Amino acid sequence: MFERLRTFWHRLTRRTNPERTMSNQDERRVWVRHPAELPTTVEPAGVAVGQSLPGLVRDISQGGIKLEIDQPFEEGDLLTVGLVGPAGHSPLTVLACVVHCAPAGAGRWSLGCSFAQELSDADLRAFGAARTPSASDDPDEQRAYQRYRVNVEAHYEVVPSDVDIPPRPALVSDISATGLGLIVDEDLPAGTLLNTELKGAGKPFRILACVVRVIDQDNGQKLVGCSFIRELTEADLRGLL
């Protein structure tokens, strides 16, 4: 499953990305890094729950994070990064990819990571920072990231599944050309691959998605943010809206 995640990550990062297409001046304005000293948990994606490592958030932006932990990781490793909540539970977890790792002294390591999906305003506030608005006027970028509230029927299967479980229903909270939010009743850690079937006003279609952020809900459900393996076309979106 870990190799599937690596492959999925590389497909995601081949999309047009504001961080790569903006000028250096725009990039500095959009990807402002906020210094922090916040406890966090770090866990290699795809491992059993409960193998998390304690760490510190040293700085954060909507596109990435700098961590300090006591274990090195390699460039390209996928990690889930979580806030530390009551009794060590993480009410928010996000998927990130290691882009560099360097010694930080005293047996500690500094990790620079990129998020699989930009953090939302609420995510950044949870990490003690405020989002800096994008200055991009690219209509293609705005269309790709605009999220719509929709009346869409969704079912999903975990990939790969070692149990013969039929597709489970989920409530779609919102959708964009690059991903969607699902409200589910089970634990789906960041990094989980889902085979989703979506049915709106048009013909149903299936698409592979990766869980990139998880937020606990007050009623015990989970709001999982997912990135699609490819951007939806305008025809795909019209069939759902």
Q: Which of 129-133, 137-141, 151-155, 226-230 has the lowest mean pLDDT?
A: 137-141
User: Are residues 152 and 105 part of one domain?
Assistant: no
Number of domains within the chain: 2
Are 172 and 154 in contact, with CB atoms under 8 Å apart?
Answer: yes
Euclidean distance between CA atoms 205 and 197, whole angstroms = 6
Averaged pLDDT for residues 210-236:
90
Give per-residue pLDDT as tens, 185-197.
999 988 899 999 9
CA 169 to CA 122: how far, in whole Å?
26
- 135 within domain boundaries: no
Report how far residue 114's alpha carbon sits from residue 48's, in angstroms, rounded to the nearest whole number: 22
Instruction: Considering only residues 171 and 6, tell me which one the structure prediction assigns the higher pLDDT.
Output: 171
Residues 154, 41: Cα–Cα separation, whole Å: 31
pLDDT per residue as tens digits for the range 26-76: 444 455 788 888 899 999 886 655 578 999 999 998 889 999 999 999 998
User: What percentage of the chain has pLDDT greater than the value 90?
Assistant: 37
- Report the distance separating Cα 114 and Cα 97, nearest Å: 5
Cα dihedral across residues 126, 42, 179, 187: positive or negative: negative
Judge whether 100 lies within some domain: yes
Query: Is 21 in the same domain as 107?
Result: yes
Neighbour tally for 74: CB within 10 Å? 7
Mark which of 64, 91, 126 sits at the end of a domain. 126
Say yes or no: 76 and 167 in one domain: no
